[in-house]
Amino acid sequence: MKTLVVYYSLEGNTEYVANRIKEKIGADVLRLVPKKDYPKKGFGKFFWGGGSSVTEESRELEPYDVCLDEYERVILGFPVWAARITPPLRTFIEEHKSKLIEKNLVAYACQSGNGAEKAFAKLAEGIGVDGFEKTAVFLDPKSKHTEEKDNQIEAFCEMLK
Ligand SMILES: Cc1cc2nc3c(=O)[nH]c(=O)nc-3n(C[C@H](O)[C@H](O)[C@H](O)COP(=O)(O)O)c2cc1C
């Protein structure tokens, strides 16, 4: 099944999973890059990132080139911010909602603690679907890397084959 992984990642964890999926199942990958990215360090990271998630803002994205018509399945990846999806992914969804509804949709989230289930519900609601074909949650798979987390990503990829 021709698959596209669309993701936003501030600190590389969500990107780490996207790249594993690309390698393991041969998916195409689209990284969302906001025109104005969030601070990667310190208080500002949580202040601006958390704040913009809570207010559910959209963030203008750098131009990207994708034709969703080419794909049967779309995998949406995001870091959980304040138990929500990240604004760059929200922007993408707003731009492509009508096409996304027609796809086999899978979602994965990276987080440090909890909130992913609430974020998946918000994501589904934002797209206008009841839920996802599959979901997966990874706990800081790059910044707190372990072999067990790699095995979890591997198992997720196997389910996607
Ligand atoms: C602004 C902000 C808010 C966050 N909120 C949550 C949260 O609600 N729950 C959680 O478990 N982790 C939270 N985190 C941690 C990230 O979701 C986690 O570290 C994730 O793996 C980062 O993915 P990334 O490296 O792709 O950016 C937050 C991080 C940031 C920067």
54, pLDDT greater than 90: no
Please provide the average confidence, as pLDDT, over all residues in the chain: 95
- Residue 146: CB within 6 Å of ligand 1? no
Torsion of CA 137, 108, 14, 64, to 10 degrees: -170
What average pLDDT score do residues 7-15 get?
98
What residues contact residue 69 under an 8 Å CB cut-off, 6+ apart? 99
Percentage of the residues of the chain whose pLDDT score is greater than 70: 100
Interval between CA 111 and ligand 1 midpoint (Å) = 5
pTM assigned to the model:
0.97
Interval between CA 10 and ligand 1 midpoint (Å) = 9
Please, what are the domains in the chain? 3-160 (3.40.50.360)
3-state class (DSSP) for residue 107: strand
Interval between CA 13 and ligand 1 midpoint (Å) = 9
Confidence of residue 52 (pLDDT cuts 50, 70, 90): confident
Which residue's CA is the nearest one to ligand 1's atom 6? 81
Answer whether 32's CB lies under 8 Å from 61's CB: yes
Supply the pLDDT for residue 132. Answer: 98
Rounded Cα gap, residues 16 and 157, in angstroms = 13
- Residue 115: CB within 6 Å of ligand 1? yes
